[in-house]
Amino acid sequence: MRATPLWFLLFSGWLAVPAHADDAQDLLKRLAQAEQQQSFQGAFIYERNGSFSTHRIWHEVLDGKVRERLLQLDGSAQEIVRVDGLTQCVSGTLVEGLANLPDPAGRILDAHKLSAWYDLKVAGKSRVAGRPATILVMSPKDQHRYGVEMHLDDQSGMVLKSLLLSERGVLLERFQFVDFDPSAPSDQSLLSASADCKPVQASRSKPADKSPAGQTWRSDWLPSGFELTNQSVRKDHDSSALITSQLYGDGLTRFSVFIEPLGKSQASDIRTQFGPTAVVSRRLATGQNDAMITVVGEIPVGTAERIALSMRPVSAAAGK
């Protein structure tokens, strides 16, 4: 029903050993800088729900503009090309339901802020794709987010391997380079879309005021550290209803909330999890027209359900 990001570099820690917090924060600061400035290319594997896929990626940062091309090498043929976070074209099953919403601020990793919600530790050294790496572990301080284990390339600071585990220690997602080159593609054709890559129409969503005065919906409860980072409104192609989308984040983890007016439409509640991604939909009686609240994100399903049940129209919330 909703499109979610193709992959996130979020994972959890094990075998962590004590280290100075400053060392871990320095690694995180270096990663944040590398993500904004580092070109690279390579091949990686992606595991989710016990299913593996292999991919090749070309990523170029030039004059402040980021261009990226991603190919799936096995299974169904899939391709995606993005420029500055906006999808330009897709092929294969990615075409269906793809949302072309810009990332409002990129992933800005603030080590000082994240240390309030995660314990940061250096867990030693590793070797990934033939390259020496340092293991950074980010363990959550509550049950409302997952931990992260990242193997950072000693040369470039980029993530070479990452694992995401549930609060019970179950592996939810693995991302791992098998070949990594920290340089821009020498052949620009590698960044160009193939003939099978179909252009994506520009999104008709429009930014909405995310200030308290501009919010039509709010949550009565959020996990500590999460705040509204973006809000937009779009018209549904089939029903013409205005659907509000809200993006929340803690600086590392994100989830989205979709509010869709139902009127007399019938809709079923949903509570499920696909690997690390929780999807919860709950019908909410608002006193006028019912609304369907859907929460999607890499958070525990119980947390997603609590967020969905806490959503209220601003007028109702203000009247409490």
Quick: pLDDT tens for 182-213: 999 999 999 999 999 999 865 544 555 555 54
Same domain, yes or no, for 159 and 235? Answer: no
Residue 102: pLDDT band with limits 50, 70, 90 = very low
Same domain, yes or no, for 195 and 210? Answer: no
Look at residue 86 in the predicted model and tell me its pLDDT.
Answer: 86
Same domain, yes or no, for 235 and 115? Answer: no
Q: Which residue has the tokens 């501009």?
A: 214
Is the pLDDT confidence value at 49 over 70?
Answer: yes
Average pLDDT over residues 86-105: 58
Measured on CA atoms in the order 99, 101, 102, 108, is the torsion positive or negative?
A: negative
Rounded CA-CA distance 135/152 in Å is 6
Same domain, yes or no, for 167 and 73? Answer: yes
Residue 10 located in a structural domain: no
Is the pLDDT confidence value at 103 over 90?
Answer: no
CB of 150 closer than 8 Å to CB of 120? no
Tokens (6 digits) for 30:
């270096």
Look at residue 18 in the predicted model and tell me its pLDDT.
Answer: 37
- Kindly give the residue spans of alpha helices, DSSP state H, lying in 107-215: 111-114
- Kindly give the residue spans of alpha helices, DSSP state H, lying in the chain: 21-37, 111-114, 301-310, 314-318
Is the pLDDT confidence value at 303 over 90?
Answer: yes
CB of 50 closer than 8 Å to CB of 172? no
Residue 14 located in a structural domain: no
Q: Render pLDDT for 267-287 as a digit per residue (tens, 0 to 9).
A: 789 999 888 899 999 998 876
Is the pLDDT confidence value at 250 over 90?
Answer: yes
Q: Which residue has the tokens 């990001």?
A: 5
CB of 55 closer than 8 Å to CB of 43? yes
Q: Render pLDDT for 3-39 as a digit per residue (tens, 0 to 9).
A: 333 333 333 223 333 334 468 889 988 998 898 899 9
Is the pLDDT confidence value at 319 over 60?
Answer: no
Per the structure, the complete domain to which residue 232 belongs is given by 206-318
DSSP string, 33-53: HHHHH--EEEEEEEEETTEEE
Q: Which residue has the tokens 């991603």?
A: 70
Distance from CA of residue 128 to its chain's centroid?
Answer: 23
Q: Provide the CATH number for the domain around residue 259.
A: 3.30.200.100
Look at residue 32 in the predicted model and tell me its pLDDT.
Answer: 87
Least confident segment among 28-42, 102-116, 131-145, 156-170 = 102-116
Given 156, 184, 199, the domain boundary residue is: 199
Look at residue 155 in the predicted model and tell me its pLDDT.
Answer: 96
Look at residue 170 in the predicted model and tell me its pLDDT.
Answer: 81
